[in-house]
Structure 1
Amino acid sequence: MKRLLLKLCILLLAPLSVGTLAFADTVETMSEEKVKELALEAILENPEIIELAIQRLQQMQRERDQAAVVATLRAQRANLEQDSNAPVIGNPEGDITLVEFFDYNCPYCKRAKPLIEELLKTDPNIRVVFREWPVLGEGSVFAARAALAARNQDKYEEIHWALMSFRGRAEEESVLEIAKEVGLDIEKLRADMQAEEVNNHILLSMQLAEGLNITGTPSFVIGDTVLPGLPTQAQLAAAVSEAREAKE
């Protein structure tokens, strides 16, 4: 750690040159006492170096994290965009796919609803893939299972928007009431909620979120861009345009 700190001190305090880099490399061959002495001297003479070094280390970590996310995006592209076990709305043949990770008990996910609707209205070449990612308790899990099970009655989109419009908390009682309102057969719904494809969808959502370092809902994936949190309409549109340009 001391050697790394001293090398950072040298690189931050001196103009970048072959000589500077060569000197920094010699740190590896110095004795432990010499490293301590030089590191302490650099810090005492330039105390701001600590903050600069921390900032640089944080930037390096962000760059590593972003590189890992991009690698995961490319490796998992098929699972993200073409999973046959994921609900799709919009244009099924659209040139750009927006993937949303969400939870029915997330207030920001509900605020994202009109953003998605507006995007679908203004861009006929968008396909939206929904990743049910219930992370906010048992009610969220029940709601996600019910929505996924509703596919067997061709009612996924109806119950999805109804749950997103619901102002209360999604729990078993409220979810079943909404299911009745959209015309679902409750007995069949309960049976279908235990299906293996429901389990598999939620499990894959968990795995994809972890691989992409997604830590909250809503989160959106468009091309090589991950948008965590509630975006603006302009941010969504910009990410779509960037993804289109990358395909050209």
Structure 2
Amino acid sequence: MVCVPFRLPRALMLLAGFAPLLVAAPASAADTFNDAQRAEIKGLVREYLVEHPEVIAEAIDVLRERQQKEEMERNKSALKSNSDALFHSKGDPVLGNPDGDVTVVEFFDYRCGYCKAVAPHVMEVIKGDGKVRLVLKELPILGPDSIMAARWSLAARKEKAYQAFHTAMMKYKGTYTAESLTKMAEENGLDAKKIAAAADSDEISQILKANMQLARELGINGTPAFVVGDHLVPGAMGPDDLKELIADARENKAK
């Protein structure tokens, strides 16, 4: 094997030559060099970067990768410290298999177009798998109509009709008002007056408040957002991506 000598750029060699001084000097790095040396270093570094701009792109890639790793670690830590609130809050509706081996948590808003778009795909994956527990976190962040819709939906849970009402709400394309919600409730065989009364309960207020606080703790500022295993995924995703996350969570759990 032939070894080819690696030649450092002159600017980097100059910096390397001054490295011992940087370590030993009690003053700041800037004070270690005189004005002429600092000017020469700046000029040489600039010259090298102009001649080799790919170095900047490489540095950006490294920085982005480092930031992504740091964000993943922060997410894992946040998920772990909030696991009870995420997976076992008594106020959250649970669909799919309540005894499933993998839990998917979805934060959503009924006025969110992306939430409506992914809803049938999420249910298709959950139903097709048969061993997934789906926790739905009402996160009404798009105004008063969102809050009203979330309140009515959670009130429907009291009548053992959450899934039917939730499905109807996700399919609905209009504005959420007392009138439209009353109509949807009646179409699903519910007592609209009873739902309306329950919707203003302190219990539902506390559920929504807890969901908002949890979202802040996890850095979630939009919907939809999913938690599967130790992965936090902001934004909409397709059924194949969800299946992959479920499979990954199942595999990690088996280890």
Alignment TM-score, normalising by the size of structure 1: 0.82
SS in 2 for 1:46: helix
Question: Per-residue deviation at 1:50?
Answer: 5.0
| Residue 199 in structure 1 maps to residue 202 in structure 2 | no
| Residue 181 in structure 1 maps to residue 187 in structure 2 | yes
C-alpha distance in 1 between matches for 2:146 and 2:87: 23
Q: Deviation per CA, 1:65-101, whole angstroms, max 9, x where unpaired?
A: 2211110111111111111110001111100000011
C-alpha distance in 1 between matches for 2:147 and 2:154: 11
Match of 1:3 in 2: none
Given the superposition, is the C-alpha separation of residues 25 and 66 from structure 1 closer, same or farther in structure 2, using an over 3 Å criterion? farther
SS in 1 for 2:211: helix
Question: Per-residue deviation at 1:137?
Answer: 1.3
SS in 2 for 1:205: helix
- Which residue among 30, 33, 43 is the counterpart of 1:32? 30
Q: For the Cα contact (< 8 Å) 1:138–1:171, is it kept in 2?
A: no
Q: For the Cα contact (< 8 Å) 1:140–1:171, is it kept in 2?
A: no
Question: Per-residue deviation at 1:40?
Answer: 5.4
- Which residue among 19, 28, 46 is the counterpart of 1:43? 46
SS in 1 for 2:85: helix
C-alpha distance in 1 between matches for 2:190 and 2:22: 69
- Which residue among 79, 83, 87 is the counterpart of 1:81? 87
Unaligned stretches of 5+ in structure 2?
Answer: 1-7
RMSD: 2.8
Identity of aligned residues (%): 34
Unaligned stretches of 5+ in structure 1?
Answer: 1-9
Match of 2:77 in 1: 71
Match of 2:135 in 1: 129
* Structure 1 range deviating more: 93-102 or 61-70: 61-70
C-alpha distance in 2 between matches for 1:227 and 1:60: 18
Given the superposition, is the C-alpha separation of residues 52 and 29 from structure 1 closer, same or farther in structure 2, using an over 3 Å criterion? farther
SS in 2 for 1:199: helix
Q: Deviation per CA, 1:151-199, whole angstroms, max 9, x where unpaired?
A: 2211211110000111223333322221221122222222211222211
The AA in structure 2 aligned to 1:43 is R
Match of 1:6 in 2: none
The AA in structure 2 aligned to 1:42 is V
| Residue 214 in structure 1 maps to residue 220 in structure 2 | yes
C-alpha distance in 2 between matches for 1:36 and 1:92: 66
* Structure 1 range deviating more: 60-69 or 80-89: 60-69
- Which residue among 142, 145, 160 is the counterpart of 1:139? 145
* Structure 1 range deviating more: 166-175 or 52-61: 52-61
C-alpha distance in 2 between matches for 1:23 and 1:184: 78
SS in 2 for 1:60: helix
* Number of aligned residues: 232
Alignment TM-score, normalising by the size of structure 2: 0.80
The AA in structure 2 aligned to 1:239 is L
Q: For the Cα contact (< 8 Å) 1:69–1:211, is it kept in 2?
A: no
Superposition pairs for residues 221-232 of structure 1, below 5 Å?
Answer: 221-232=227-238
The AA in structure 1 aligned to 2:30 is E
Q: For the Cα contact (< 8 Å) 2:96–2:127, is it kept in 1?
A: no
Q: For the Cα contact (< 8 Å) 1:43–1:50, is it kept in 2?
A: no
The AA in structure 2 aligned to 1:208 is L
Q: For the Cα contact (< 8 Å) 2:75–2:231, is it kept in 1?
A: no
